Structure 1
Amino acid sequence: MPDTGGADELAWGDRESAEPWHDLALGRWSARLTARGIEDVRLDGRRVLTRVLHTVRATDWSTERAALAYTLAPPGRDGPAATFTARYPGHGLDLRGEIRAVPDGFDVVFESRPAGPRTVRVNRVGPAVLHPGDQAGRPVRGHPGGLPAGFAFPRHVARSPVFAAGARMELGLAPTGVVLELDGGEFEVEDHRDWSDDGFKTYTPPLAAPRPIVLRPGDVLRHRLRITAAPGRSSPAGARPRRPDEATPAGVMPPLGLQHSGGALPPAALAAVAELRPAFLHLTTDLAHPRWRDLLAADATAARALDVPVVLTLVADPTDPGPAAELPGLLDGRLTTVLAFDTGTARTSAALVRALRPRLGAGVTIGGGSRAHLAALLAAPPVDELDVVTFPIASCAHDVDRAAVRSSLDSHPAVLAAATELAGGRPLLVGPVGHLPYWDSWGAATPGPAYGWGPGLARQRSVFHAAWTVAALAGFAAAGVARVSLCHTTGLRGVGEPAGDVFAAYPVWFALRELAGTAGWRRLPGATPPGTTGLRLRGPAGGLDLLACLADDPPAGGFPPTAEVLHAVAGTLRREPARTAGTPTPCVVVDRQPRGGQP
């Protein structure tokens, strides 16, 4: 068995860093003040907003992040309950603001101004509000002008923007509605689920507004949000797609493949990856690279050593894909599926698919769609030309904190439903699946491949990541996904990394080893134990319950006494019986039933 390596607890990503935060209470309202913004906004204990934040987007749409610093007023003192400041050095921009109690709510004021003598030009500057995904299906009333009678946050993933917010929005939440008054600019609302974020976002200015925004020395751009309880109005709870930890339809476990980090695998890494029994190896090649043949031949040695089929992401110019005819031979006949994308884009064109078909032959299926996010898949892919529809899922499209990564799972039912509908009966290949986007859709003047943000990398080495992966797979099985392409074989995005003559396995390796050989197993419907999400599988060899606990607090009901628990203690990975491990979190719970045992 591979060595588990060693790391301190923070490096494993199982706890947040000790960043400063403050709890704020204003009558019926409460929130947590963090460097990212005003988070977890609650009315009478119920979460109504995920976050109120300040955003700055450059003229190339890249985001500059700044940490908010707070000063809290002593209790009972008149004036603001808290003030905050931030500095955006890349733009020479200062932010000052305050939070002030008002009857049955509070105001948040943001003042943005140049910090020095230069003129600031940006595409976006101002507040944004993140709404939780459980508001899908709930009514929204807009003023002035209003929205159509019966208008609601969409249940199904919508192309953005969804609607203009106006100066006032009344959110029909249960049991008490919430009113947002928006001052200082025009606002609109978009569906964030097409980025695998759970929920919706209100922001300013609208995407169609003239840009850039120009702030000269001495200018002050002032925005005010007033957040109050709606007087005497309530709304029944609306339905939303269910999480896999609730009762879900029965499905089957899809085949799981791995991305390949490139080249031949060292012996210890090869043995470790072989234990996972991947259904396929997912390679990537760009026909514009001068050494693409040599690189692909080196990658093919890993597929040959593992004796598995190849799925190939192919980047090509639709006007000159001639060398694609060499691919089946270069891959020793292992090539089963090509996922085709046009050079310089995250999408597939009909022209490219048509050009590839005669070159690849009848034995290779051709897929495509998006190599960015669901948002790109929804932009009219050539579905009629495709055999397979594909798109990736990344939990860290906008944020990398634990709460954002965990809540991304709540977006998956709606995301998979939208992709399934678009595919029109064609099989879905979901992947890569993980935390870091593989395509930079927003952070540069010229979008292109992305290799991730530093803060997200520790997640890959964590039990938290292993649990997140198990929870994601539960949703894929329930939704009928045909194939899943997971993390890499080795490295920062991998299941582990070579360390001399051994392979240092990440916790996700141990979770995936439990699933080796379970493709096609039946997924039992029904709820998992409270506080967990996961898979209950039954197959010819017996049964497997593989459960994930991602909560900050351990589940009250405990785990099955026959189970084993995979968790980290002070950076050391442990697997021990549930009766001695207790209920640690995060963790992965493994409970096997022998053939003929009770379901």
Structure 2
Amino acid sequence: MQEVEIENGAAKLTALFNEAGLCRIAFDGSEMLRGLSAPVRDTAWGEIAQDSIDCQLERVEAGYEFRRKARICGNNASVSMTISLLAEGDAFIVAARFLLQAEEPLVTNRAGFCLLHPLFGLRGTPLFIVHPDGSETQTEFPTAIAPAQVARDVAAMRYTIAGVQCDIDFAGEVFEMEDQRNWSDASFKTYCRPLGLPVPIRIEAGKQLEQTVEIVLRRQAPQHIEVSDGPLIEKAVLPAILLAVEPGWIAKPSVRPLGYVMREKPDNPFQDADLKLLAELVIESSAPLDLEFVVAAQDDPQEALSAMADRLARFNLSPRHVIALPEAYLKSYQPDGEWPPKPGPEDAAKAARQAFPKARIGCGMLTYFTEFNRCPPPENACDYVTYGTSAIVHAADSSSVFQTLEALPDIFKSADAISTSKPQRLGLVAIAMRSNPYGASLAENPDGLPHTMTANDRRHSGDAGAAFAAAAVMLAAECGIEALCIAAPKGPFGLVDHRGTPTPLAKLIEHLQRFWAEPVEIRSNGNGRIEMLGKPGRLTAIFAPEAAGLSFEEDDS
């Protein structure tokens, strides 16, 4: 990464660049923009890799210019982007241009500029939109997470953050804004090609796409800096740490779990040998069992759940918590789009209650908060709610991954409001993706390198994965989450690495279990560090990209 500064009288603009473009703009230390890049998406919404990347950042008169050129992997198409930073009068100007040249047909769901606006300083503040016909709309950045687009049909926008007015003009495409906290991204995102338009699009050979964005930043009011007396300290009780189980993930874990959550899917059902092994693990550990059951599209929910209850009973498995969901709801739908016909989630919940009369019955989604937010649980149909999160839906670099922790409290609080404060028992809260409701499949990633929309991310097995999980658990505790999964016994979310060696995440669970069910103090300084204090000692998670890890200091008293 490269950081540059330009000054304009008493004001200073700081910009941080990486290979993809701008990853931060700050005006006198206050973050104005969290990202400005131009990704190209495939038909499953994954980012298409680029090679032959050439980036240059040079000093020019009154500022800097960033130039990026690359080629689309697997296609004879080129992309280029320039971003200029200039001081002009009493303002700073950020001018960006994107060009895609297709030398053979290119099929894509989206290509062009993507702007990320920070959360801090914008939640609940006014947002002014100018539409292509010149009309204006006043709205606001949402406080609770918005299930649908925050703004549509955007040609320009204006907002103020930390006393600085930000004016943004777009050309070459119509833009819209969404609340990326839905996917645990810590930002509001303005992007082009509106979701209401058909995808994929085909760019013919010899054609090109060109877009421009101009951002003007100007001080409008004195900067107000909140002074904290110290780190935020809250009392909490940790959620139960559960292990996710699917066929192929079953093994005796390297730590004793507080519960297992089995997921039965039509395309990956448990065999009798799987259930026998799972029953042995449950009995040996005295750990309770939860069931997540996906009703096949052609099946009647009542018949399918009754058959599952009978099958589990043969192995003396009696789940204490059950959620059932029709198979169609493993995919994502726009709030105002066409939704699947019945049976729906409420029908599945009723069937689950009849098939498992002694269990607590859940509602929600077996994918992510996005889908939970777009399809709220039926009122009075359940005893608890569930969903999951992944940190690599839109970006996979470590900075973006750790930034998603900033959005988790908003997710937990929004889910609490949606569900009228029902207990939350969450599926996998992890870096990697368990499933892809937005496309046909997850991305292949055999090397485990940072990549969007993949189940294989080797950070899960390292210090970064343990630090991420520790911070997520502490944030969940602050918000009163009842239980959550952060790993599986083995597999892509396993507690052992490819050599069978216990991971730092396994050690984390050992530490967490010592704190569980006793009140703890959680302290956050909001700068990549969160710690928990209780009778066993102090557990600290550091989740800065350059120095992620855990430390535990035992209380000798």
What's the C-alpha RMSD, in Å, of the aligned pairs?
3.2
Going from structure 1 to structure 2, the CA distance change for 1:93 and 1:237 (only over 3 Å counts) comes to farther
Which amino acid in structure 1 is aligned with residue 127 of structure 2?
V
Q: Secondary structure at the match of 2:140?
A: coil
1:370 correspondence with 2:360: no
**In structure 2, the residue corresponding to 1:133 is in which secondary structure?**
coil
Compared CA separation, residues 217 and 286, structure 1 to 2 (3 A): closer
Q: Which residue in 1 is equivalent to 2:507?
A: 510
Alignment of 1:16-415 (within 5 A): 21-27=1-7, 28-66=12-50, 69-72=53-56, 75-76=59-60, 81-90=65-74, 92-102=76-86, 103=88, 104-116=92-104, 119-134=105-120, 135-143=122-130, 144-148=134-138, 151-164=139-152, 166-230=154-218, 232=220, 246-247=231-232, 249-260=234-245, 262=247, 270=253, 272-274=254-256, 278-287=257-266, 292-317=271-296, 319=300, 320-321=303-304, 322-346=306-330, 349-360=345-356, 362-380=357-375, 381-415=377-411
Identity level (%): 20
Q: Secondary structure at the match of 1:356?
A: helix
Superposed counterparts of 1:518-533, under 5 Å: 518-524=515-521, 532-533=529-530
> Does residue 1:587 correspond to 2:549, yes or no?
yes
Q: Is the contact between residue 157 and residue 414 of structure 1 (CA under 8 Å) also seen in structure 2?
A: yes
| C-alpha separation in 1, matches of 2:244 and 2:282 | 11
> What is the CA deviation profile of residues 288-312 of structure 1, one whole-angstrom value per residue up to 9, with x for unaligned ones?
6576444333332222232211112
Whether contact under 8 Å (1:36, 1:68) holds in the other structure is no
1:417–1:246 distance in 2 versus 1, CA, 3 Å: farther
SS of 1:273's equivalent in the other structure is: coil
Alignment CA distance shift 1:78-1:211 (3 Å): same
Q: Distance in 2 between matches of 1:351 and 1:137?
A: 36
Q: Deviations over 1:516-555 (max 9, x none)?
A: 2433211336556986203223xxxx343211122357xx
Structure 2 match to 1:486: 486
SS at match of 2:164: coil
Inter-CA distance 550–525: structure 2 relative to 1 (3 Å threshold) = closer
Could you say what secondary structure the match of 1:390 adopts?
strand
Unaligned runs of 5+ in 1: 1-20, 554-584
1:546 maps to what in 2?
Answer: 539
Q: Measured at CA, do residues 80 and 408 of structure 1 come closer, stay the same or move farther in structure 2, by a change above 3 Å? A: closer
Counterpart of 1:545 in 2: which secondary structure? strand
> Per the alignment, do residues 36 and 341 of structure 1 end up closer, same or farther by CA in structure 2, a change over 3 Å counting?
farther
Question: Are residues 1:435 and 2:431 paired?
Answer: yes
Name the aligned partner's letter for residue 412 of structure 1: L
**Partner residue in 2 for 1:475:** 475
Q: Which of 414, 418, 425 is the equivalent residue of 1:418?
A: 414
Give the 3 Å change call, closer, same or farther, for CA 214–493 of structure 1 in structure 2: closer
Normalised TM-score (structure 2): 0.84
Query: 126-135 vs 514-523, which deviates more?
Result: 514-523
Q: Which has the higher strand share?
A: 2
Q: Distance in 2 between matches of 1:264 and 1:53?
A: 37
Letter in 2 for 1:466: A
Which blocks of at least 5 consecutive residues in structure 2 are unaligned?
332-343, 451-456
Once structures 1 and 2 are overlaid, which stretch shifts more, 191-200 or 177-186? 177-186
- TM-aligned CA deviation for residue 329 of structure 1: 0.8
**Amino acid in the other structure paired with 2:34:** T
Q: State the Cα distance separating 1:214 from its structure 2 match.
A: 4.1
* 1:409 Cα offset (Å): 0.6
Question: 1:463 Cα shift?
Answer: 1.5
SS at match of 2:501: strand
Give the structure, 1 or 2, with the largest relative contact order (CA under 8 Å, sep 6 or more): 1
Aligned 8 A contact 1:107 1:225 in 2 = yes
Inter-partner Cα distance in structure 2 for 1:264 and 1:62: 25
Do the aligned partners of 2:391 and 2:401 also contact (CA within 8 Å) in 1? yes
Shift of 1:110: 0.4
Q: Matches of 2:172 and 2:52 in 1, distance apart?
A: 21
User: Which amino acid is 1:218 matched to?
Assistant: G
What amino acid sits opposite 1:422 in the alignment?
A: I
Report the alpha carbon displacement of residue 335 of structure 1 after superposing the two structures with TM.
1.7
| Secondary structure, aligned partner of 2:137 | coil
Query: Normalized against structure 1, the TM-score is what?
Result: 0.78
Per-residue CA deviations over 1:425-449 (Å, capped at 9, x if unaligned) read: 32110121211111202233xxx67
Q: SS of the counterpart of 1:586?
A: strand
Larger mean Cα displacement after TM superposition, 207-216 or 427-436: 207-216
Counterpart AA for 2:506: W
Report the CA distance between 1:90 and its aligned residue. 4.1
Alignment length (residue pairs) = 519
The answer to whether the 8 Å contact 2:127/2:140 transfers is yes
1:571 corresponds to which residue? none
Q: Could you list the per-position Cα deviations for residues 42-71 of structure 1 after superposition, in whole angstroms to 9, with x for gaps in the alignment?
A: 233432211111122344544323358344
Residues 231 and 78 of structure 1: is their aligned pair in 2 closer, same or farther, counting only changes over 3 Å?
A: closer
Letter in 1 for 2:427: G
Partner Cα distance (1:305, 1:450) in 2: 36
Whole-Å separation in 1 of the counterparts to 2:527 and 2:265 = 46
Question: Structure 2 vs 1, CA of residues 293 and 172 (structure 1 numbering), >3 Å: closer, same or farther?
Answer: same
Change (3 A) 1:331 1:131: farther
Choose 292-301 or 187-196, whichever is displaced more. Answer: 292-301
Deviation per CA, 1:320-357: give whole Å up to 9, x if none.
41412314414414421122222243276112222232
Is 1:471–1:533's contact at 8 Å kept on the other side of the alignment?
Answer: yes
Q: After superposition, what is the alpha-carbon deviation per residue over 1:165-205, rounded to whole angstroms, capped at 9, x for unaligned?
A: 63222221113222211111111110000101111100012
**Gap change, CA 1:184 and 1:550, over 3 Å in 2:** same
Shift of 1:157: 0.7
- Cα shift readout 1:352-389 (whole Å, capped 9, x = no counterpart): 222232222x2122213112211100122334322220
